[in-house]
Amino acid sequence: MHKAHKIQLSPTKAQEIFFKKSCGVARFSFNWALDKWKTDYANGIKQSAYTLIKHLNSIKKTEFKWMQETGKCAPQYAIHNVEAAYKKMWKEKSGYPKFKKKGIKDSFVAIENEISFKQSDFRIHIPRLGKVKCCENLRFEGKVLFVTVKRIADKWFAVVQIETPNEASVTYENQVVIGVDLGIKTLATCSNGKVFENPKALKSNLKSLKRSQRSLSRKVKGSSNRKKQQILLAKKYYRVSCIRKNALHQATTKIVNSANVIIVEDLSVNGMIKNRNLSQAIGDVGFGEFRRQIEYKAAWQNKTVIIADRFFASSKTCSCCGLKKEKLNLSERTFCCLSCGLTIDRDLNAAINLANYSPTSKGEGSKACGERVVETQNTSVKHEIVNKIENYSQFNTL
């Protein structure tokens, strides 16, 4: 399996200049290859990354002498990215590749194989530059594929791509099943009673971001003050993303470590964002990133992730008797069953229903609209659900 380790760098001013030059070379090579590919394709000539690299190397010494100040990996991998962008466009029917702009997602490939990679004592060796200080050593063991240097705000990072050996499959005798209900008020509520709070990273910093954005709009374009304000604004956005990612990583890691089978609801995020009253709050949570982290972390530990059907009524269904409500307003934070009299937190009720969800229940116990038909209920399952509800108050909110 492939893993990536992002390490923050602490370059000197001279090393930072080299990084900026390398980013410029990679950006120019990408735009040059994209323009060449587009022109040749219009003329009926099929191109490939290797032919473009060969052509660039033949004219680089005469037409682009300044490209020789950086390493060879930066322009070559940029051209490979052009080929990958076209393949993605044809395969996934995504948009046409766009030209890169200066200062937006600046990055370049610095190391192309394991032989060139050297890292020890909080220093990483970059070809044609030397040793650069970094904040930590490499945590994973395996074959280093390549290293990408990228800039986020005013910080530099080295992303090390590693091919690690696959872990041996583990057979569990007692499968611990946990259901996870995602929300806005709380990030995630688990069927075992654990609650992960939503840090609301964007909302807590929105006032400061608005003020910085307003100040940026008043600066003269091309001035030094505008560049300083751009860096300041980028640092604040980076801080917001770090707060959100930290909460997501902590929650997903604890969930994956505590269960063998994880059941997550399939949310239509694109449809939810269309609600103008909740679009900003939904985007601030990061539902898609949560699911992505759950899936790849579970794959690392050979655990199972089940995605519940999108129309499974986990919130409207009683986790004790199985009765489904026809309507449940978003403001009702407590679920009250009219049949058995159960009173339980809305999110916990949904999480328990997800824990009891079965993929085969589509044709047996559930309908396309999400209605769940329960004729007989196992008494042991009932007692287990009741115990979860009674012990809910004993769990500490994380």
Closest to 158 measured CA to CA, from 286, 295, 15: 15
How many residues make up the chain in this entry? 398
CB atoms within 10 A of CB 125: 16
C-alpha to C-alpha distances, 21 to 81, 207, 348, 364, nearest whole angstrom: 19, 35, 53, 62
For residue 372, is pLDDT > 80?
A: no
pTM of the model: 0.80
- Judge whether residue 386 has pLDDT over 60: no
- Cα separation, 145 vs 127, in Å, equals 15
Percentages of the chain per state (helix, strand, coil), in multiples of 5: 45, 20, 35
Q: Taking the domains of the chain in order of start, what are their residue ranges?
A: 2-163, 177-394
Over the stretch 296-333, which tens digit does the pLDDT of each residue have? 999 988 898 999 988 888 888 888 888 888 888 888 88
Q: Is the pLDDT of residue 381 over 90?
A: no
Nearest-angstrom CA–CA distance, 10 and 7: 10
**CA 6, CA 147: separation in Å to the nearest integer?**
10
Asked if 187 and 270 touch (Cβ cutoff 8 Å), the reply is no
* C-alpha to C-alpha distance for 331 and 315, rounded to whole angstroms: 13
pLDDT tens, position by position, 132-176? 999 999 888 888 999 999 999 999 999 999 988 876 555 555 678
Contacts of 60 (CB under 8 A, 6+ apart): 67, 68, 75
Percent of the chain with pLDDT over 70: 88
Written as six digits, the tokens of 197 are: 């709070």
Quick one: pLDDT at residue 378?
37
Judged against a pLDDT cut of 90, whether residue 397 lies above it is answered with no
- Tell me the pLDDT tens digit for each residue of 31-88: 999 999 999 988 888 889 999 999 999 999 999 999 989 988 999 999 999 999 999 9
d(CA 335, CA 139): 45
Q: How many CB atoms lie within 10 A of CB 345?
A: 19
Q: Nearest-CA neighbor of 117 among 152, 75, 159?
A: 159
Res 235 pLDDT > 80: yes
